[in-house]
């Protein structure tokens, strides 16, 4: 009987040792795998160049677009960091006093009495609503009211596009109406960057909006252009510089509060105006106090 008990104890102890070794090895394996995961996740996070909330808006149109499977706005696609001078300062962040002071140089007009209004237009090249608005509202209002010297005109061609970093200095961009829209958005951003003043670039924006592609825009809008080199403008639109400018326009778009949910998106003194989409001139004139002669 004593000999049998000893055998059982030895068998039990051997089984216990094997079970402990299996448990220990399994636990160590889990711990090692966990630290390996943390290592690569940290490396991936450190190496990612992030843009301010580039994922805030899905690429697809709110009424259903070609990129309908893009994650909804509340899901983070890219985290916010300081770009550290990575993008060109196409739309510099300025205070209200800086913006109001810049208008005098932008329109080359003498000072006039009355308030100054900031009007911003967030557009995209192939959006039908934007095309109607630019041709029937924005262009007409600009021709009528530009000389008042009392409106800061800002055009941001981006809409519901999406740009992600690719390499050290390039971006991969998707636009809700396809690659041709991205190139036209880039062309408009390049025109704004190179021509600087609304008096120079607004006619081009009006012409480029709604064109089929770069070739169509060149034939109808750029040939004979005297204010800027056509070849330089096209090189910008189809290259890294244009994609960087488009990504910068995306940063400006992402700063909107409330966030952009429709294109075109119009703000007057920083506040969205839905009614301005249907009668821009009236909405601008109603905010100019006293009204200039062009509004009477």
CA 85 vs. chain centroid, Å, equals: 16
215-243 pLDDT tens trace? 999 999 999 888 999 999 999 999 999 99
CA 286 vs. chain centroid, Å, equals: 30
Of 87, 184, 172, 69, the residue nearest 134 (C-alpha) = 184
Using DSSP bridges, classify how beta strands 265-268 and 117-123 pair: parallel, antiparallel or unpaired. Answer: antiparallel
Residue whose structure tokens are 């007409």? 140
Determine whether domain 96-295 maps to CATH 3.40.30.10: yes
> What's the pLDDT at 58?
35
Task: Please give the Cα distance from 105 to 116 (Å, whole number).
Answer: 14
Orientation angle between helical segments 230-237 and 240-254, nearest 10 degrees? 70
> What's the pLDDT at 9?
65
Of 209, 208, 235, 202, the residue nearest 221 (C-alpha) = 208
pTM: 0.67
Q: Are 11 and 19 in contact (CB under 8 A)?
A: no
Question: 279 or 26, which is more confident?
Answer: 279
Q: Are 98 and 200 in contact (CB under 8 A)?
A: no
Tokens (6 digits) for 160: 């519901």
Domain spans, the chain: 1-47, 96-295
99-130 pLDDT tens trace? 444 444 444 444 557 999 999 999 999 999 99
Q: Are 153 and 142 in contact (CB under 8 A)?
A: yes
- Percentage of the chain beyond pLDDT 70 is 65
Of 241, 216, 238, 218, the residue nearest 230 (C-alpha) = 218
Tokens (6 digits) for 17: 């040792």
26-51 pLDDT tens trace? 777 777 776 676 655 544 443 333 33
> What's the pLDDT at 117?
98
């Amino acid at each position: 009987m004593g000999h049998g008990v000893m055998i059982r104890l030895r068998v039990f102890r051997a089984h216990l040792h094997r079970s402990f070794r299996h448990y220990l090895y399994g636990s160590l394996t889990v711990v090692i795998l966990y630290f390996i995961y943390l290592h690569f996740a940290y490396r991936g996070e450190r190496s990612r160049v992030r843009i301010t909330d580039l994922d805030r808006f899905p690429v697809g149109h709110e009424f259903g677009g070609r990129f309908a499977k893009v994650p909804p706005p509340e899901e983070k696609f890219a985290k916010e960091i300081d770009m550290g001078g990575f993008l060109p300062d196409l739309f510099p962040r300025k205070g209200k006093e800086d913006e109001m002071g810049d208008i005098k140089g932008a329109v080359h007009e003498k000072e006039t009495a009355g308030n100054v209004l900031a009007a911003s237009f967030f557009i995209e090249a192939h959006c039908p609503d934007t095309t109607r608005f630019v041709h029937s509202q924005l262009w007409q209002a600009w021709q009528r009211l530009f000389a008042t010297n009392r409106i800061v005109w800002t055009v941001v061609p981006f809409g519901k596009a999406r740009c992600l970093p690719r390499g050290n200095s390039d971006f991969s961009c998707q636009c809700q109406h396809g690659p041709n829209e991205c190139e036209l958005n880039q062309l408009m951003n390049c025109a704004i960057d190179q021509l600087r003043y609304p008096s120079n670039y607004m006619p081009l924006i009006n012409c480029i909006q709604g064109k089929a592609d770069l070739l169509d825009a060149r034939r109808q809008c750029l040939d004979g252009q005297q204010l800027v080199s056509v070849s330089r403008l096209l090189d910008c639109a189809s290259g890294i510089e244009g994609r960087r400018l488009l990504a910068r326009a995306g940063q400006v778009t992402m700063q909107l509060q409330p966030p952009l949910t429709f294109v075109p998106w119009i703000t007057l003194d920083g506040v969205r105006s839905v009614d301005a989409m249907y009668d821009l001139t009236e909405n601008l004139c109603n905010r100019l106090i006293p009204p200039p002669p062009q509004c009477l």
